[in-house]
Structure 1
Amino acid sequence: MKHKAALKLIEDKLPKKRYEHSVRVAETAKEMAGIFGANRDKCYLAGILHDYSKYDDLGSMYQYVTKYNLDSALLAFNSELLHGPVAATIMRFEHGVKDEDIYYAIANHTSGRPQMLLVEKIIYVADYIEPERDQPGVGEIRKLVFEDKNLDLAIYEITKMTLKHLLKKNRPIYNRTIECYNYYNMVKE
C-alpha cells in the first residue's frame, strides 16, 4: 500500500484528532527509522495504519479474533488492546498489506511482546512519544530515544509505565505485555 492511499484510508475512517495522531506517529517513526537503521517506508506506513481499528465495534473485533484464529486471550480485553491485532489482520486480509514487519508493528503497538522486530519496536515507542503526547515520563523516554539512542531501554520503561497504569486502574493485563516487560528488563542495557 502506498502512503497516499494509507493516509486516505485512515482519513476517511478515523476522527480528525486520531488521524492527526496517526500522522504524528508516522513522522516520529520515520525519524526514528533514520536513527536506528530501519526501513523508513515501512515505519511510516505502520505508523499511519496502527490505529485503523481504534473505534471499531467491540463485537466486530471479537469476530475477527475468532475468524482469523488470533490469540483467544484477546477476547478478555476491550478495544484499547484489541484494535492493534484487529487492524493488522484487516490490513493483511482486506487491504493486501502482507509485510511481516508492518503486520507485527500494527498488531503489537499497544501490548508489546518479547523479541520485537525493529519496525515493531519503533512503532511501539513512536506511538508513546509522538510530539503531542504529554503523559508523565514521556520526556525521559524521548531522551532515551533521541539522545541516548537506547530503544530497548525505552521499550522497558514504556512497558513498566503501562503496567503501573493498568495496575492502578485495576485493569486486566495481557500476558504478552508481561512477557515484553520481562524480556526487555533482561536486555535493556
Structure 2
Amino acid sequence: MKKSEAISLAKEKLPDRRYQHSCRVADTAVQMAEIFGANEKKCFLAGMLHDYAKYDDLKDMHKIVKKYHMDPEYLQYKSEILHGPIAAHIMKTEYGVTDADVLYAMENHTSGRSNMTLVEKIVYVADYIEPKREIPGVKGIRKVVFSDKNLDKAVFLITKANLLHLISKDRMIFSRTIECYNYYNRVKE
C-alpha cells in the first residue's frame, strides 16, 4: 500500500481528531525508525492505520473474531483491545496489506506482546509518546526514546504504566499485555 492510500483511508474513516493523532503517530514512528534502523515506510503505514477500526461497532468486531477464528480471548474485550486486531484484519482482507511487520504493529499497538518486532515496538511506543499526548510520565519516556535510545525500556515503562492504570480502574488485563510486561522487564537494560 502506498502512503497516500493509507492517508486517504484514515482521513475518510476517522474523525478529524483521531486522524490527526494517526498522522502524529505515523510521523513519530518515522522519526523513531530513523533512530532505531527500522523500515520507515512500514512504520508510517502501521502508524497511520493503527486506529482504523477504533470506532467500528463492537458487535461487528465480535462477529469478525468469530467468523475468522481469531483469538477467542478477544471476545472478552471491547474496542480498546479489539480495534488493533480488527484494523489489521481489515487491511489484510480488504486492502491487500500482507506485510507481517505492518499487520503485527497494528494488531498489537494497544496490548503489546512478548518479543515484538522492531516495527511493532516503534508503533506501540509512538502511539503513547506522540507530541500531543500528555499522559503522566510521558516526558520521561520520550527521553528514554530520543536521548537514551532504549526502545525496550520504553516498551517496558509504557506497559507498566498501562498495567497500573488498568489495575487502578479494576479493569481486566489482556494476557498479551502481561506477557509483554514480563518479557520487557527482563530485557529492558
Structure 2 length as normaliser, TM-score?
A: 0.99
The whole-number CA distance in structure 2 between the counterparts of 1:145 and 1:88 is 26
Superposed, which structure 2 residues align to 1:4-83 within 5 Å?
Answer: 4-83=4-83
2:139 alignment counterpart = 139
Give the Å deviation of 1:86. Answer: 0.5
Query: Which residue pairs with 2:120 in the alignment?
Result: 120
For this pair of structures, how many residues does the alignment match? 189
Secondary structure of the 1:4 match is helix
In the TM superposition, residue 66 of structure 1 has moved relative to its aligned partner by: 1.1
Q: How far off is 1:183 after superposition?
A: 0.3
Percent pairwise identity: 62
Q: Distance in 1 between matches of 2:144 and 2:117?
A: 19
Query: What does 1:81-96 align with in structure 2 at a 5 Å threshold?
Result: 81-96=81-96
Q: Which amino acid aligns with 2:143?
A: K
Normalised by the size of structure 1, how large is the TM-score?
0.99
Unaligned 5+ runs, structure 2: none
Counterpart secondary structure, 2:52: coil
CA distance in structure 2 between the aligned counterparts of 1:31 and 1:69, rounded to whole angstroms: 36
Q: Within 2, Cα distance between the matches of 1:18 and 1:98?
A: 24
Which amino acid in structure 2 is aligned with residue 141 of structure 1? I
Q: Deviations over 1:42-97 (max 9, x none)?
A: 00010000000000000011011112211100100010110000000110111100
1:11-66 deviations in Å (ceiling 9; x for gaps): 11000000000000000000000000000000001000000000000001101111
Name 2:175's counterpart in structure 1: 175
Ranges in structure 1 where 5+ consecutive residues have no aligned partner: none
CA distance in 2, matches of 1:105, 1:91: 12
